Chains A and B, each alone.
Chain A
Amino acid sequence: MADRILEVKDLRTRFHIAEGTVYAVNGISFHLEDGETIAIVGESGCGKSVTMLSILRLLPIPPAEITSGQALYLGRDLFRLSEREMEQIRGKEIAMVFQDPMTSLNPVLTIGRQIGETLRVHLGLDKEAIHQRAIGLLDQVGIPDPAHRLNDYPHQFSGGQRQRAMIAMALACLPSILIADEPTTALDVTIQAQIVELIQRLKEQLSMAVIWITHDLGVVAEMAERVLVMYAGFIVEEARVDELYEDPRHPYTMALLAALPRIDRRRDKHLRSIPGAPPNLLVAPKGCPFAPRCELAFDRCWDEMPPLFQLGPDRRAACWVDVTTGKPF
């Protein structure tokens, strides 16, 4: 077994806002192996992005509060590092690519300057070396004529090119973990295919581990080795990618897969929709958060959150019911 490069234990993140407390992440644990690609999937508000921002300590505190947990990067707990030590890791060893490249890039600085900043801060290179390195990076992410494009501003780049530039910035210091937070959601499918291929190629070349955050089960099938499914701040299922799609073990995963229309199949009937809506996160979780929408729920589900039962190697599901039989364990 490869080494665990990142291990998150019992992470809980809350937000204290005027309306009350938002229970965004409710005690999740997972790990990432060196060179592995995992995907975290879930719908908006399920806590997938907050988890990553918590680990990188990018959340404003307050209103955010991390009430418990550890995030061990190569054995060091990121939550116990000083801000200075954290700065040495963030952007250098763990880098992140965000969903919307237009709001994540500074509109009044050239692309070259923004890539250069990472190199200057973390590697302390001189001007000429930064320039050469930035050209190399843009070239690596497939931007034609990189020497000229360095002088362009973000608005002169197309959506796909901006995301490539963001990836170039993230890769500047050869990170060992790349966190990609819905990097293709704002893009068209043809551009999405380009970006997915690019990240997969770079991952091989640079032997990075990748955490891919998305709501798109299609993209997950394409690039992840292992998948975590999140719902209302909990991990509800974890599996290797083939197992998850062939044999999902949590009613939420099953419902989600059944609700998807398929481009590779002829239509048969209506889509299987999931009734209701995700729970209000302003209410402290009690019982299984999916119970109100679940066909298999029984008394216990409403009162007690099931733990993640180990169902096999790399295989866990948080459900009181054995979905293969429809009966409680």
Chain B
Amino acid sequence: MRLVSNWSENFLQNQYKRLAEYRHQVFVERLGWEDLRSESGLEMDQFDRNDTIYIVAEEDDGHIVGCARLLPTTKPYLLGEVFPQLYNGLNPPCSPDVWELSRFAALDINKRNVSSSQVSSPIARQLLEESISCAVAQGAKRLITVSPLGIERLLLRSGFNSHRAGPPVIISGHPTFACWIDLE
């Protein structure tokens, strides 16, 4: 297994397509996020731009087993545009010191007894650490994440300096939070 991180514009077309297929399989077909469903079977939104950074975990044969997305908060990002209520009345951050981590999944779709959790794979922590390294390389001192419960648990178990930004919203019957991760 290897971790690949790069700007969106540097991904080859077939790599990008495989990532979008994986995201659809995880977030739509596995987790039931119906708002993201597309007929093409490719999951992309308005925050998948040329300046988006992706972190992809893939096997030697190219099979994707995990992904994450990083966005600067100085441009439109998911939490700021779609879930500002998760900031508990504060203005969403807009700072070069703060990056957003979203579309985080560590799940091998091909495995039997596939979990219903998006972070069931043992590579979840490696993927998280690589995502944080990428963010730090871009000057981030804090991350804000869109976090279903599984990611919040992962952050705590892994010993990261993290806390939730406020009460969750309920998506498909499950709580989703904004979580802060202090990187300094």
Q: Tell whether A and B belong to one assembly.
A: no
Q: Which residues of A contact B (CB under 8 A)?
A: none
Q: Which residues of B contact A (CB under 8 A)?
A: none
